[in-house]
Amino acid sequence: MYKFKKEFLTFLNIFSNSLRFEMLIRASNQRLFLPFYHTVSNHELVHIKHLYPVKDEKQFKEDLHFLLKHFKPIDIDELIKIADGQKSVSQNSFFLSFDDGLSETYHVIAPVLKEMGIPAAFFLNSSFIDNLDLFYRFKCSILVEAIQKKPPSGAIVSKIEDALRKHSIAAVNPVRGLLSINYAQKPVLDEIAMLLEVDFNDYLNSNKPYLSTPQIESLINDGFAIGAHSEDHPEYNQLSLEEQLNQTKHSIQFIQEKFNVNHKLFSFPFTDFGVSKEFFENIFDTDNKITDISFGSAGLKKESFTKHFQRVPMDNSNLPAEKILATEYLYYLLKAPFGKNSILRT
């Protein structure tokens, strides 16, 4: 389904140039837009290089200028009021957020947002703060880079392929195998790292890809919102309901206690696709509320839970914001007659 959407959105790009953006907003009546990024960097990031594109500061600023031209930025307090039904969306508005808690948030992103007067929320994985551990997909990218930079001998390749097979990972070559690894298979990454003489701890210490505690405290002092993004970034549709709730609850509690923040915020790692109605009933339960609001990444859609918001990824490609938004709105309008814009949980 995701592959089809991606291909269809690419096809729609052909037509979106000729459409006035304001017309698309009026026709869809979707005045609230929630864009999100992972990071912004003027330098190559090996831990992300083989996973998805990273916009540079110039591209990021151009995106923000386009958003400001068509939408008013809102902060987390205003969004929570919308979620609680205390406020309606009377004008075109956007709420900006960033996942994964990467260090460029402090060095690149926050200075730009402060300069332009744009509020935002930053979602952190509790296990990765202070560079104590590394997201398994980042490990994949680092290992792919090691293979491409210095191709291993035939004997090492055979050992890598054996390790992949042992973990039920079938691939035509080690690079494809690495990029197909899921959360449950992540132990194989440390085995392959040893074969390639890659030290993840050394990478963490040398590159410090994640935010530190002082940096996060500085962001909070600057008025930015901080939320949780699970403990260690699993695919939720591969977890049991109990595991989903534990990842959510423990990461939110950690953020609240460590940084003394008022709001309970959560964004799903990867996607909320396949997450049950029961999960959302648990996290929004009035008597034992785990989070105030939560965020997915399914694009421009209507949610069955008013406290859960779907966002639009802005770094799945190097396309400018103008193109991404026009295509999302056009896609929304084309699906509307078929009732495909609402997410129903079972």
Clarify whether residues 223 and 87 are in a common domain: yes
CB 175 within 8 A of CB 135: no
| 291 and 197 share one domain | no
pLDDT of residue 18: 45
| pLDDT computed for residue 251 by the predictor | 98
Same domain (yes/no): 52, 183: no
Over the stretch 190-212, which tens digit does the pLDDT of each residue have? 999 999 999 999 999 999 999 99
**Domain of 192, in residue numbers:** 136-205
Question: What distance separates the 2 farthest-apart alpha carbons in the chain?
Answer: 64
- List pLDDT tens digits, range 279-314: 999 999 989 999 999 999 999 999 999 999 999 999
Instruction: Encode the chain in three state secondary structure.
Output: CHHHHHHHHHHHHHHHCCCCHHHHHHHHCCCEECEEECCECCCCCHHHHCCCCCECHHHHHHHHHHHHHHCEECCHHHHHHHHCCCCCCCCCEECEEECCCECHHHHHHHHHHHHHCCCEEEEECCCCHHHCCCCHHHHHHHHHHHHHHCCCCHHHHHHHHHHHHHCCCCCCCHHHHHHCCCHHHCHHHHHHHHHHCCCHHHHHHHHCCECCHHHHHHHHHCCCEEEECCCCCCCHHHCCHHHHHHHHHHHHHHHHHHHCCCCCEEECCCCCCCCCHHHHHHHCCHHHCCCCEEEECCCCCEECCCCEEECEECCCCCCCHHHHHHHHHHHHHHHHHHCCCEECCC
Which of 168, 189, 205 is at the close of a domain?
205
The pLDDT-based confidence of 15 (bands split at 50, 70, 90) is low
**pLDDT at 234 > cutoff 70:** yes
In 10 A of CB 149, how many CB atoms? 8
One-letter identity of residue 14: I
- Whether residue 246 is predicted with pLDDT greater than 80 in this model: the reply is yes
Q: What is the CATH number of the domain that holds 244?
A: 3.20.20.370
For the chain, give the percent of residues with pLDDT over 70: 95
Average pLDDT over residues 328-341: 93
Domain final position from 205, 227, 254 = 205
Determine contact, residues 277/264, Cβ cutoff 8 Å. Answer: no
Indicate whether 174 and 46 sit together in one domain: no
User: Residue 2: how many CB atoms within 10 A of its CB?
Assistant: 9
Total domains in the fold of the chain: 2
- Segment 76-104, tens digit of pLDDT: 999 999 999 999 998 999 999 999 999 99
Average pLDDT over residues 220-242: 98
pLDDT at 8: 61
Residues 170 and 108 in one domain: no
User: Could you tell me if 261 and 115 lie in one domain?
Assistant: yes
On whether both 93 and 240 belong to a single domain, the answer is yes
Of the candidates 42, 55, 165, 22, the residue with the CA atom closest to the CA atom of residue 107: 42
Report, in angstroms and rounded to the nearest whole number, the Rg of the chain calculated over CA atoms: 20
Write out pLDDT tens, residues 134-180. Answer: 999 999 999 999 999 999 999 999 999 999 999 999 878 999 999 99
Q: What is the mean pLDDT of the chain?
A: 94
92 and 44 housed in the same domain? yes
Give the model's pLDDT for residue 340.
92
Task: Note whether 114 and 236 are same-domain residues.
Answer: yes
The predicted pLDDT at position 171 comes to 78
Share of the chain above pLDDT 90, in %: 90
Buried/exposed 76-104: b ≥16 CB within 10 Å, e otherwise: bebbbebbeeeeeeeebbbbbbbbbbbbb
Residues 8, 144, single domain; the answer is: no
Tens-place pLDDT, residues 18-51: 458 888 999 999 999 999 999 999 999 999 999 9
Domain stops at, among 162, 186, 205? 205
- Shared-domain flag, residues 143 and 125: no
Give the closest residue to 293 by CA, choosing from 280, 302, 274.
Answer: 280
> What's residue 4's pLDDT?
57
Does one domain contain both 38 and 160?
Answer: no
Average pLDDT over residues 67-81: 97
The pLDDT assigned to 17 comes to: 52
